[in-house]
């Protein structure tokens, strides 16, 4: 069983009726809903307003993969909790950061670059699969069309990814490394660009399949967490 915690800021859906209309159950509720249908996944949710943002030591110890969506409260997010999440990723917890979570404290801490990019509201996107043999691309066609999406464009200031599984094209001509994997310590990270809150992107079956694949890819191998250590080793005998 892979234990998944779906974290969402859960601010826009409560503030704006048109966003609540897209995700009445919240983005976390939508994602937990389709992941919860999978036999091998145990899913819980957490949101910003919970104590310690719902990401206590106890919750993180019981999380194999954290899915993270954030946008308006990046600066308000607790430094202490961000560091705690980083430590868990380094010891093997998987992390799937979605859409504007590229700019979260957690991602900046783990990846170390500015994470800046270009953006424009109200575009459409074609997601091309640029690593078809990657586990996150399993069952995904060579191109997915997202009828409405916010444009995210290059240059995207990330460290060189392990793999660029998906590359986005937008009608303005921009391209973007939309699905990238990274390794930090023992932890596997997937960043996935689609999912602007105004559009029902997480209701698209192919997008859901990518997130399901990402959970299984980012889960620690054999379900095992390993603490990183720094120690002097004496030669035996």
Interface with Zn ion (CB under 5 A) = 100, 150, 196
Give 100 or 104: the residue with its C-beta nearer to Zn ion. 100
Q: 194 with 146: CB under 8 angstroms?
A: yes
Of 41 and 127, nearer to Zn ion (C-beta) is 127
Q: Which of 132, 172 has the CB closer to Zn ion?
A: 172
| Phi, psi torsion values for 43, nearest 5 degrees | -120, 135
Minimum Å distance from CB 76 to Zn ion? 17
CB of 100 vs Zn ion, minimal distance in Å: 5
187 or 195: whose CB is closer to Zn ion? 195
Nearest approach in angstroms of CB 26 to Zn ion is 15
Give the residue among 21, 37, 104 at the shortest CA–CA distance from 66: 104
Q: Sheet of 94-98: strands edge to edge? A: 41-47, 2-8, 65-69, 94-98, 187-192, 175-184, 163-170, 118-129, 143-153
Q: Which residue minimizes CB distance to Zn ion?
A: 196
Q: Tokens 């997480």, residue?
A: 202
Q: How far is the CB of 222 from Zn ion (least distance, A)?
A: 36
Q: Residue 46 and residue 32: Cα distance in Å, rounded?
A: 10
């Amino acid at each position: 069983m892979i234990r998944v915690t779906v974290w969402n800021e859960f601010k826009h859906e409560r503030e704006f009726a048109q966003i609540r209309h897209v995700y009445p159950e919240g983005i976390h509720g939508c994602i937990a809903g389709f992941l919860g249908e999978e036999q091998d996944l145990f899913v819980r949710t957490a949101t910003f307003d919970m104590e310690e943002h719902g990401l206590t030591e106890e919750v993180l110890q019981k999380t194999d993969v954290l899915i993270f969506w954030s946008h308006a409260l990046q600066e308000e997010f607790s430094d202490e909790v961000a560091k705690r999440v980083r430590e868990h990723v380094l010891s093997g917890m998987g992390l799937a950061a979605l859409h504007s979570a590229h700019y979260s404290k957690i991602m900046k801490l783990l990846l170390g670059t500015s994470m800046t990019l270009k953006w424009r509201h109200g575009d459409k996107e074609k997601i091309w699969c640029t690593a078809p043999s990657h586990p996150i691309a399993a069952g995904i066609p060579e191109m997915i069309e997202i009828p409405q999406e916010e444009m995210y464009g290059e240059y995207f200031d990330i460290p060189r990814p392990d793999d660029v599984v998906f590359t986005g094209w937008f009608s303005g001509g921009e391209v973007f490394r939309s699905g990238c994997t990274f390794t930090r310590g023992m932890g596997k990270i997937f960043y996935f660009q689609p999912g602007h809150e105004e559009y029902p992107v997480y209701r698209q079956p192919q997008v859901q399949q990518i997130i399901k694949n990402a959970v299984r890819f980012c889960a620690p191998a054999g379900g095992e967490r390993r603490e990183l250590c720094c120690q002097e080793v004496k030669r035996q005998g």
